[in-house]
Chain A
Amino acid sequence: MGKNAQGETPLVEVKHLKQYFDISVGMFATKPLKAVDDVSFTIKKGETLGLVGESGCGKTTVGRTILHLYKPTSGEVWYDGAQIGDKKSLAEFRKKATMVFQDPYSSLNPRMTVADIIAEPLDIHKMYKNSQERRDRVLELMSYVGLNSEHASRYAHEFSGGQRQRIGIARALALNPGFIVCDEPVSALDVSIQAQVINMFDELQEKLGLTYLFIAHDLLVVRHISDRIAVMYLGHMVEMADANEIYDHPLHPYSRSLISAVPVPDPKVARENKRIVLSGDIPSPLNAPSGCPFRTRCPHATEKCAESMPELKDLGGGHFVACHRTEEIN
Chain B
Amino acid sequence: MSMLEVKDLHTSFFTDAGEVKAVNGISFQLDEGKVLGIVGESGSGKSVTAYSIMQILAGAGKIVSGSIKFRDQELVGAGEKVMKTIRGNKISIIFQDPMTSLNPTYTIGKQLMEAILLHTDRNKEQARERAIEMLRLVNVNEPEKRMKQYPYEFSGGMRQRVMIAMALACEPDILIADEPTTALDVTIQAQILELMKSLQKELGMAIIMITHDLGVVAQMCDEVIVMYAGSICEQGTADEIFYHPCHEYTKGLLRSIPAVDDNGERLQPITGTPIDLLNMPKGCAFAPRCDAAMRICLREKCERMQINDDHAAACWMNVAKQQTEKDRKGGEA
Interface string of A264-306 (1 = CB under 8 A from B): 1111111001010111011000000000000000000000000
The CA-CA distance from A306 to B133 in the complex, in Å, is 34
Q: Once the chains bind, are B191 and A278 in contact (CB under 8 Å)?
A: yes
Known A-B contacts A192-B252, A257-B187; the reply to A224 vs B215 at CB < 8 A is no
Knowing A192-B252, A265-B214, the reply to whether A217 touches B219 (Cβ < 8 A) is no
Instruction: Tell whether, in the assembled complex, residue A277 and residue B252 are in contact, meaning their CB atoms are under 8 Å apart.
Output: no
| Inter-subunit contact A261/B186 (CB<8 Å) | yes
- The chain B residue sitting closest to A163, CB to CB, is B273
Interface presence of A160 (CB below 8 A):
yes
- SS class, residues of chain A in contact with chain B: helix
Give which listed residue, B157, B219, B238, contacts A281 with CB less than 8 A: B157
- The one of B156, B260, B269 in contact with A266, judged by C-beta atoms closer than 8 angstroms, is B260
Please indicate the chain B residues that have their CB under 8 angstroms from the CB of A261 in the complex.
Answer: 186-187, 189-190
With A163-B273, A258-B186 as contacts: A220 and B258 at CB distance below 8 Å: yes
Q: Tell me if A262 counts as interface (CB < 8 A to partner B).
A: yes
Inter-chain CA distance A282–B156, complex, in Å, is 11
B271 interface hit (Cβ, 8 Å): yes
Considering the complex, which residues of chain B in the window 191-244 have a beta carbon less than 8 Å from any beta carbon of chain A? Answer: 191, 193-194, 212-219, 238-239, 242-243
Which residues on B sit within 8 Å (CB–CB) of A282? Answer: 155, 185
- Establish whether residues B242 and A191, one from each chain, have CB atoms under 8 Å apart when the complex forms: no
Bound-complex Cα distance A195 to B270 (A) = 8
Interface string of A210-227 (1 = CB under 8 A from B): 000000010111011000
Task: Report chain B residues within 8 Å CB of A54.
Answer: 185-188
B41: A residues at CB distance < 8 A: 190-193
Q: Which of A163, A224, A257, A275 contacts B194 (CB 8 A)?
A: A275
B256–A192 contact, CB under 8 A? yes
Interface residues on B, range: 35 or more
> How many Å lie between the Cα of A268 and that of B260 in the bound state?
12
Q: A326 near B: Cβ within 8 Å?
A: no
Taking the closest CB of chain A, its distance from the CB of B17, in whole angstroms, is: 14
| B242 lies within 8 A of A266 (CB) | yes
Contact A224–B218 (Cβ < 8 Å): no
Name B273's contact: one of A162, A221, A263, A265 (CB within 8 Å): A162
B274 touches A192 (CB 8 A): yes
State A267–B193 Cα separation when bound (angstroms): 15
Question: Which A residues touch B219, using CB under 8 A?
Answer: 263-264, 267, 270, 273
In the complex, A3 has a CB within 8 A of chain B: yes
Q: Does A245 contact B (CB under 8 A)?
A: no
Q: How far is the CA of A219 from the CA of B193 in the complex (A)?
A: 18
Q: Shortest CB–CB separation between residue A114 and chain B, in angstroms?
A: 15
Chain A residues with Cβ under 8 A from B260's Cβ? 220, 264-266, 269
Kindly provide the distance from the CB of A37 to the nearest chain B CB, expressed in whole angstroms: 20
Q: Does B309 contact A (CB under 8 A)?
A: no
Q: Is B254 located at the chain interface by the 8 A CB criterion?
A: yes
Contact B257 A191 (CB under 8 A): yes
B262 touches A55 (CB 8 A): no
A269 to B219, CA, bound (A): 9
Taking A190-B41, A219-B186, A261-B190 as known contacts, 6 extra A-B pairs with beta carbons closer than 8 A to each other, sorted by chain A number, are A199-B266, A217-B186, A220-B260, A220-B262, A221-B258, A266-B242
Closest 3 CB pairs of A and B: A263-B215, A195-B269, A261-B190
